[in-house]
Structure 1
Amino acid sequence: MHDAGTGSTRAPSRRTVLAAGAGLTAALALTPDTARAAGHDDERLTTLISRMTLEEKVGQLFVMRVYGHSATDPDQADIDANLKEIGVRTAAELIAKYRVGGIIYFNWAHNTRSPHQIADLSNGIQKASLDQPRGLPVLIATDQEHGIVARVGRPATLFPGAMAIGAGASRSDARELGRISGAELRALGIRQDYSPDADVNVNPANPVIGVRSFGADPEAVAGLAAAEVKGYQASGVAATAKHFPGHGDTAVDSHFGFPVITHSRELWERLDAVPFRAAIHAGIDAIMTAHIMVPALDGSGDPATLSRPIVTGILREELGHDGVVVTDSLGMEGVRQKYGDDRVPVLALNAGVDQLLNPPSLDIAWNAVLGAVRDGELTEPRLDASLLRVLRLKAKLGLLDRPWVTAAGVDRTVGIPEHLRAADRLADRTTTLLVNKEDVLPLSRRTHPRLLVAGADPASPSGSDGPPTTVLAKALTALGFTATTLSTGTAPSSATIDEAVTAAGNADAVVVATYNVSATDSQRTLVGRLAATGKPVIAIAVRNPYDVAQLPDVTACLASYSWTDVELRAAARVIAGRVRPRGRLPVPVPRADDPTRELYPIGYGLSY
């Protein structure tokens, strides 16, 4: 096995595996061959737990971030970040000090630079853990929702996000997304995905969910979420439905505040609970809690993550979920506003969760749980119950037998042409046409050969061909148009708007990307000024489809539900007439002048 970044990942030899896993097989009292043949039932897992120290048990319940592309030799900047935030230099030191049971990958932590590097990092983490006394494989996780949340970028296959899949309304597409994405994550050593988002997005002002949800119809969300779960888990990756008990009706982002969901118990049962019930019925491996208050479910004022009535009473006892329960990040304000960082992990475990995700200070959290057991607030049998669930999952995923990945596995799986073509096919079924005055679409290269592509350019996803205007222009040029770009941003100034109007004079039509347009937004002014030139203006809402209500002057309007390359290329194909628009709104669009009335209902969408 080579260090990260060499591009030459290979599985360790049998001798290396046996040496690294000696603590595991000794604790199980099995030879590697008989362990593999007999499987890992609860009796063996309980035996393993009984031989662990209290410190090791506590560590196994944490899933932690760590900076760096390598488990042992990260860049100096990442060493500095690790020392500042965690008190260790490397992932290997993190494991040795705290014996964490899980690690979460982030692109901003420089964990996901390239496929071979990710695989090397995963192998390095596993080796570091198995080299410890009684060492256990690490459950490596990430947020690969696709669409606007994807931690692993190109050349891995990137799919349309959840609301786009909702617009396509195909459960087979959702399952194929999970199957392909799961296969690629598994090849990289990532065995738990914090996806799908099972929230029912019924609030257009929701700042944190929005297009991460499949839509506003609970039955449709349930069917797509369950299908995606089956796809991921058929590929050997644990799916994780989130954010229980339902984060779809809030105007507060739990990263920065403490949302309150005012649904009655009856409304919760027929709206928010439906997708989670479906995910559990589909055999979901894990469910993530939300840092939200739901007074109808627990009147204590505690966030759901810390609520025993919600986690144990409803999720486990009423809904019957006996798999892993993982918290949302413990660094989010929604879970920190009421209690200190030393109390949060203890209260979460008392509520019934199993995995404690990404605390702001691992040292504080780890010592708090350790102290709570020693003081009697938490019992060791309570830790053992969560440990058993986590180990059952690791055993199910095959991690206890073979945690390694190989370069050959990466090369035959990640970003292969077959997967990329599947992503394009799925995207072609999601683009939604909402306005098409005078049948301007599809655009003809004969009558509208010169295009100006302007508008918002939110931060590009990892591995993108560039900002949305650049990706759209490239795609339209490849389809036979002559497209020029002008990035006007999400808040264009008067001077920028004037520049766009001038540039439109040299074009036959304008394609403009919009991003969460409001009534007072200068993007609205930009579109209005461009329409006043008399040139056809085709708007593409590159995030929320609600933009169309604020754009009465456009000649045509499409919803792509994200600004990822795969969705923008699909929108370009619709504009050029290479594919017909087939997407239908998975959420209603309220009127701009009266949000209580619908401009377009669920299921609306034009074609040609």
Structure 2
Amino acid sequence: MHHSSTNSTGNTARPSRRTVLAATAGVTAALAVGGTAQAAPLDDSKLRGLISRMTLEEKVGQLFVMRVYGHSATAPDQADVDANLKEIGVRSPAELIAKYRVGGIIYFTWAHNTRDPHQIADLSNGIQKASLELPRGLPVLISTDQEHGIVARVGKPATLFPGAMAIGAGGSRSDARTFGRIAGRELHAMGIRQDYAPVADVNVNPANPVIGVRSFGSDPEAVAELVAAEVTGFQASGVSATAKHFPGHGDTETDSHYGFPVITHTRGQWDALDAPPFRAAIAAGIDSIMTAHIMVPALDDSGDPATLSRPILTGILREELGYDGVVVTDSLGMQGVRTKYGDDRVPVLALKAGVDQLLNPPNLDIAWNAVLTAVRTGELTEERLDESILRVLRMKAKLGLFEDAYVSHGGVDRAVGVRQHLIAADRIAERTTTLLVNEGGLLPLAPSEHGKLLVVGADPASPSGTTGPPTGVLAAALTGLGFTATALSTGTAPSSATIARAVAAAQDADAVVVATYNVTASSSQKSLVRELRATGKPVVAVAVRNPYDVAHLPDVPAFLASYSWTDVEVRAAARVIAGRVAPRGKLPVPVQRADDPAQVLYPVGHGLTY
């Protein structure tokens, strides 16, 4: 583990509170009446005074939230130095801040920002120190995508919770609020103060390739309630939640990372289907809202993505919905926002549309200079920049960053992955596991009758919430519950030889558990299940992502949905299979028939128990 520096008590060396206050030009005193920034009335006049002392270059920098490679602010590994030089033209996070004065940094696993909690805390402190020690230095807003479920940038030993669709299956606002409070507390302890969660998209399209189980479900009002509860939990922990992706990415068959989706909802459909969760988030006091790189002709017929649409971001979000918090773009490196305009035009058009934070442009130098030039040529006014900077600084002030931007190893140890948090995640996961089929009361399995289990199936790439492939985690969990379970990974597209190997292994088992992943009409996973069924052994299927798999496997006698293949959900499914807990989840989306999608096979609210 890298430590930037530690004292004898094991806490990260951190500047004194007095140093932070001095570095922020005394603005804290104006904000922190009564001892904490959050308790104080926000004094816009003091923040405007801060803005008035900034150079134009510093103002432009405040609008950007940028990726940067490395586990350390000042001494990244050589491979990360090389990546930074190639993509950004700097060597380290500290150099990025010094050169561009960015207002925010986003952490990614693949950028090597999130090795372990102490390292993350050290990196956060190093970033804050690098910024606060500059002339007119400001605290940095550090963010990440910690949705939980299949999208989590901070892995174990942090507490990992079920994802949104699982929470939707549990249907508990209390659980959603608890999840947000605990997840927020852990992020806060590591210096991450803005989380790009929750997903407020209503997943009304089963073919949606990018949202799916990241959504709470298909019912707008149910999604709205859970979004508001999660927002309340996060923000009670001093972390700004971010509802995404406005105006709603739930009904698309195109992934905006790679293409430009078009949403064909009418204005009336948008009001009824897509808007309620965002309205609920705003009513709950959400600090930030993320835009979607999608076209919604009913809201803006110009052909522009919502991220660059003034009618959508200013006309609807600001003026109609009355939102005056921070608007952040989705990543500007995604194809959905780059299809129509060049990388130099996108940030300027986003600001003209009403955006405040420009997230992760593919080339920061091009984007930063484009905004600078737009102000110097009069396309953008400095007053327009000041509006956005004021919103960003308000959020930083609300989070207490002007008062104390630093964290400690002791704070990490008291919050991250502590026993009571892990227990809470397990209990919530148990309330989300959904039993869709249980012919003849096959489940729960008993070790006395089905002592030897074979666990086969898909082992998709592991997100941060996993210790290994789901077949292995499931087998280990079942073995711990009194069975003798053997794992055999057959992949997401098993070959005939792999299927034959699984069938041979099944001969020695009393029952077979199959992990399924995104089964389609042509998937060879269907052949795997069919041939395992032909052995005469009892077969239990667990959909480790989309519950829609059940429509393609009509002959499976027992079928569970876990909504993700992260450890917390897979282990909960094992406890349900073993009868240690009863399944309580209810489908938050309808499952349509595979042979006739106009017909519903299992409606919203379906879920068996025992």
TM-score by length of structure 1 reads 0.97
Question: Is it true that 1:573 corresponds to 2:575 in the alignment?
Answer: yes
Structure 1 residues 31 and 436: CA distance shift in structure 2, 3 A? closer
Report what 1:517 is aligned to.
519
Report what 1:440 is aligned to.
442
Contact 1:9–1:116 under 8 Å retained in 2? no
Report what 1:154 is aligned to.
156
Aligned with 1:25: secondary structure?
Answer: coil
Question: Displacement of 1:378 after TM fit?
Answer: 0.3
Question: Displacement of 1:508 after TM fit?
Answer: 0.5
Report what 1:22 is aligned to.
22
Report what 1:76 is aligned to.
78
Matches within 5 A, 1:98-137: 98-137=100-139
Question: Displacement of 1:140 after TM fit?
Answer: 0.2
Distance 1:604 1:489 in 2: 29
Question: Displacement of 1:530 after TM fit?
Answer: 0.6
Structure 1 residues 559 and 325: CA distance shift in structure 2, 3 A? same
Question: Is it true that 1:420 corresponds to 2:422 in the alignment?
Answer: yes
Report what 1:291 is aligned to.
293
Q: Deviations over 1:251-302 (max 9, x none)?
A: 0000000000000000000110010000000000000000000000000000
Contact 1:63–1:102 under 8 Å retained in 2? yes
Distance 2:263 2:306 in 1: 11
**Structure 1 stretches of 4+ moved >6 Å:** 27-39
Q: Deviations over 1:369-427 (max 9, x none)?
A: 00000000000000000000000000000001100001111011000000000000000
Distance 1:606 1:212 in 2: 23
Contact 1:286–1:325 under 8 Å retained in 2? yes
Question: Displacement of 1:438 after TM fit?
Answer: 1.1
Contact 1:3–1:124 under 8 Å retained in 2? no
Question: Displacement of 1:69 after TM fit?
Answer: 0.4
Letter in 2 for 1:24: T
Q: Deviations over 1:483-523 (max 9, x none)?
A: 00100000111100000000000100000100000011001
Q: Deviations over 1:349-386 (max 9, x none)?
A: 00000000000000000000000000000000000000
Letter in 2 for 1:437: E
Question: Displacement of 1:576 after TM fit?
Answer: 0.2
Contact 1:536–1:555 under 8 Å retained in 2? yes
Give 2:94's match in structure 1, choosing from 92, 95, 114: 92
Question: Displacement of 1:22 after TM fit?
Answer: 3.2
Structure 1 residues 465 and 362: CA distance shift in structure 2, 3 A? same
Give 1:340's match in structure 2, choosing from 335, 339, 342: 342
Distance 2:11 2:320 in 1: 45
Q: Percent identity?
A: 76
Contact 2:31–2:43 under 8 Å retained in 1? no
Structure 1 residues 507 and 62: CA distance shift in structure 2, 3 A? same
Report what 1:252 is aligned to.
254
Give 1:166's match in structure 2, choosing from 165, 168, 175: 168
Report what 1:457 is aligned to.
459
TM-score by length of structure 2 reads 0.97
Question: Displacement of 1:9 after TM fit?
Answer: 3.7
Contact 2:20–2:403 under 8 Å retained in 1? no
Contact 1:541–1:560 under 8 Å retained in 2? yes
Give 2:588's match in structure 1, choosing from 561, 586, 592: 586
Report what 1:549 is aligned to.
551
Contact 1:5–1:70 under 8 Å retained in 2? no
Report what 2:61 is aligned to.
59
Structure 1 residues 36 and 200: CA distance shift in structure 2, 3 A? closer
Question: Displacement of 1:596 after TM fit?
Answer: 1.0
Structure 1 residues 137 and 532: CA distance shift in structure 2, 3 A? same
Letter in 2 for 1:454: V
Structure 1 residues 232 and 266: CA distance shift in structure 2, 3 A? same
Question: Displacement of 1:459 after TM fit?
Answer: 1.1
Question: Displacement of 1:554 after TM fit?
Answer: 1.1
Distance 1:36 1:495 in 2: 64
Contact 2:145–2:195 under 8 Å retained in 1? yes
Distance 2:241 2:31 in 1: 31
Matches within 5 A, 1:233-382: 233-382=235-384
Report what 1:227 is aligned to.
229
Letter in 2 for 1:492: P
Contact 2:31–2:42 under 8 Å retained in 1? no
Structure 1 residues 46 and 491: CA distance shift in structure 2, 3 A? same
Structure 1 residues 541 and 6: CA distance shift in structure 2, 3 A? farther
Question: Displacement of 1:6 after TM fit?
Answer: 6.7
Question: Displacement of 1:234 after TM fit?
Answer: 0.4
* Alignment RMSD: 1.7
Letter in 2 for 1:77: A
Give 2:530's match in structure 1, choosing from 528, 531, 538: 528
Contact 2:33–2:41 under 8 Å retained in 1? no
Structure 1 residues 567 and 230: CA distance shift in structure 2, 3 A? same
Structure 1 residues 448 and 26: CA distance shift in structure 2, 3 A? closer
Q: Deviations over 1:151-208 (max 9, x none)?
A: 0001000000000000000000000000000000000000000000000000000000
Structure 1 residues 359 and 535: CA distance shift in structure 2, 3 A? same
Aligned with 1:153: secondary structure?
Answer: coil
Contact 2:198–2:231 under 8 Å retained in 1? yes
Distance 2:434 2:180 in 1: 22
Q: Which runs of 5 or more structure 2 residues have no equivalent in the other structure?
A: none
Question: Displacement of 1:548 after TM fit?
Answer: 0.1
Contact 2:433–2:560 under 8 Å retained in 1? yes
Question: Displacement of 1:552 after TM fit?
Answer: 1.4
Letter in 2 for 1:472: L
Distance 2:178 2:99 in 1: 40
Letter in 2 for 1:76: Q
Q: Which runs of 5 or more structure 1 residues have no equivalent in the other structure?
A: none
Report what 1:393 is aligned to.
395
Report what 2:504 is aligned to.
502
Distance 1:31 1:362 in 2: 32
Aligned with 1:271: secondary structure?
Answer: helix
Contact 1:9–1:119 under 8 Å retained in 2? no
Contact 1:21–1:131 under 8 Å retained in 2? no
Q: Deviations over 1:128-156 (max 9, x none)?
A: 00011100000000000000000000100
Question: Displacement of 1:13 after TM fit?
Answer: 4.3
Report what 1:190 is aligned to.
192
Report what 1:202 is aligned to.
204
Distance 2:220 2:245 in 1: 14
Letter in 2 for 1:65: R
Letter in 2 for 1:521: S
Aligned with 1:412: secondary structure?
Answer: helix
Aligned with 2:352: secondary structure?
Answer: helix
